[in-house]
């Protein structure tokens, strides 16, 4: 069974159609990347899967279940999302503890204390951070909290929207290592959106290159590592990111 399957997906955002006729299948346990520049529609696809961009036609199915056009309670336990901006994705008036306990409260799960402690340990945050407010945390620490929050409901799929692009290089390395470790330990499926090709090389198995709302190429990560992408636009992107092109 595929973790995520999109068929003939068109997405509109306001009056404009931003994604055209996208079909894609991500296998369970796979780490798949959507790459492209701003305005390519890559983030919009994530939002549509999550239910945050409700204006779409076609089908989206997650672990075999068709998705509705809005966030759902049951869906929350299979799929969660990590956002780009660690400064905007945490509620400014809530402590780390509140933030991590909220999904438990929503789903009526017990054992708040142990689960919050376990989640903090899993993302490598010391217990001292448990009752801090977001403004008392650094960017990297916030992103760890956001990842911990996404994992509270033990989902099988994580949607990652540029999870490291707002972070410093050294912090990015920490978060990338963490994401890799979590995937190995919990058998997660990742759908990662990024403009950073080296990040894809480190974290993903396959990638789709997007431009103007369409997929121009789906490739294995080996093609990226060896500089053998086929589509002219993918190759342009590859060169601009500092890669040395090889004949396709």
Partner 1 sequence: MTAPLLSIKNLTVTFPTPKGPVEVVRGISFSLGRERLGIVGESGSGKSMTGRSILKLIRPPGRVTADEMVFDGIDLASLRERRMRALRGARISMVMQDPKFSLNPVMTVGEQIGEALKTHRPMPRRQLRARVLEMLEAVRINEPERVADLYPHEVSGGMGQRVMIAMMLIPEPDLLIADEPTSALDVSVQAQVLDIIDELVRRNGMGLILISHDLGLVARYCDRILVMNGGEIVEECAARDLDKARHPYTRGLLAAMPRMDEDRDELPVLDRSAWAAT
Partner 2 sequence: MSAVRDWLLDDSPASRLQASLGRSWRSFSALMRNPLAVAGALIILALIVMAVFAPWIAPYSAIGQDLANRLAPPSALHWMGTDELGRDIFSRVVFGSRITLMIVTMVAVISAPIGLLVGAISGYFGGWTDRVLMGLTDIFLSMPKLILALAFVAALGPGIENAIIAIAITAWPVYARIARAETITFRDSEFIAAVQLQGASSARVILRHVLPLCASSTIIRVTLDMAGIILTAAGLGFLGLGAQPPLPEWGAMISSGRNFILDQWWVATMPGFAIIAVSLGFCFLGDGLRDVLDPKQRDGR
Give whichever of 50 and 237 is closer to partner 2, judged by the CB atom. 50
Tell me how far apart the alpha carbons of residues 30 and 76 are, in angstroms, rounded to a whole number. 19
Give whichever of 102 and 236 is closer to partner 2, judged by the CB atom. 102
Nearest to 123 by CA among 77, 78, 181, 172: 181
For partner 2, which stretch binds (CB under 8 A), given 5-13, 68-76, 197-205, 211-219? Answer: 68-76
Site for partner 2 in 84-143 (CB under 8 A): 84-85, 88-93, 95, 97-98, 102-103, 106-107, 128-129, 131-133, 136
Interface pick for partner 1 out of 100, 145, 193, 197 (rule CB under 8 A): 197
Tell me how far apart the alpha carbons of residues 180 and 188 are, in angstroms, rounded to a whole number. 10
For partner 1, which stretch binds (CB under 8 A), given 3-11, 125-133, 148-156, 168-176? Answer: 168-176
| 8 A C-beta contact, residue 183 and residue 31 | yes
Site for partner 1 in 1-60 (CB under 8 A): 37-38
CB under 8 Å to 48, separation ≥6 — which residues? 9, 11, 19, 54, 56, 60
Please give the C-alpha separations between residue 201 and each of 57, 115, 158, 159, in angstroms, as whole numbers.
Answer: 32, 33, 18, 17
CB under 8 Å to 232, separation ≥6 — which residues? none
Interface pick for partner 1 out of 201, 205, 214, 228 (rule CB under 8 A): 201
Residue 199-218 contact track with partner 2, rule CB under 8 A, x = bound:
--------------------
Give whichever of 97 and 174 is closer to partner 2, judged by the CB atom. 97
Tell me how far apart the alpha carbons of residues 32 and 22 are, in angstroms, rounded to a whole number. 15
**Count of residues engaged in binding partner 2, rule: CB under 8 A:** 38
Tell me how far apart the alpha carbons of residues 224 and 199 are, in angstroms, rounded to a whole number. 11
Interface pick for partner 2 out of 1, 15, 73, 184 (rule CB under 8 A): 73
Q: Report the interface residues with partner 1, using CB under 8 A.
A: 37-38, 139, 168-174, 176-177, 180, 195-199, 201-202, 224-227, 236-238, 240-244
């Amino acid at each position: 069974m595929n973790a995520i399957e999109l068929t003939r997906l068109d997405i509109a955002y306001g009056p404009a159609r931003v994604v055209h006729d996208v079909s894609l299948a991500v296998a369970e346990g796979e780490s798949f990347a959507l790459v492209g520049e701003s305005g390519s529609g890559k983030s919009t696809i994530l939002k549509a899967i999550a239910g945050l961009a409700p204006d779409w036609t076609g089908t989206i199915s997650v672990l075999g279940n068709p998705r509705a056009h809005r966030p759902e309670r049951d869906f929350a336990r299979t799929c969660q999302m990590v956002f780009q901006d660690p400064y905007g994705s945490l509620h400014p008036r809530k402590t780390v503890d509140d933030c991590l306990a909220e999904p438990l409260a929503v789903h009526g799960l017990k054992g708040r204390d142990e689960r919050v402690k376990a989640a903090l340990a899993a993302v490598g945050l010391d217990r001292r951070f448990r009752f801090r407010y977001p403004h008392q945390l650094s960017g990297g620490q916030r992103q760890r909290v956001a990842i911990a929050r996404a994992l509270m409901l033990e989902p099988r799929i994580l949607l990652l929207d540029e999870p490291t692009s707002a972070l410093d290089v050294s912090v990015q390395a920490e978060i990338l290592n963490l994401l890799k470790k979590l995937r190995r330990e919990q058998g997660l499926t990742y759908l990662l959106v990024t403009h950073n090709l080296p990040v894809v090389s480190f974290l993903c198995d396959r990638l789709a290159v997007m431009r103007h709302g369409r997929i121009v190429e789906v490739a294995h990560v080996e093609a990226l590592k060896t500089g053998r992408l086929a589509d002219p636009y993918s190759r342009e992107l590859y060169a601009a990111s500092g890669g040395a092109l090889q004949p396709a």
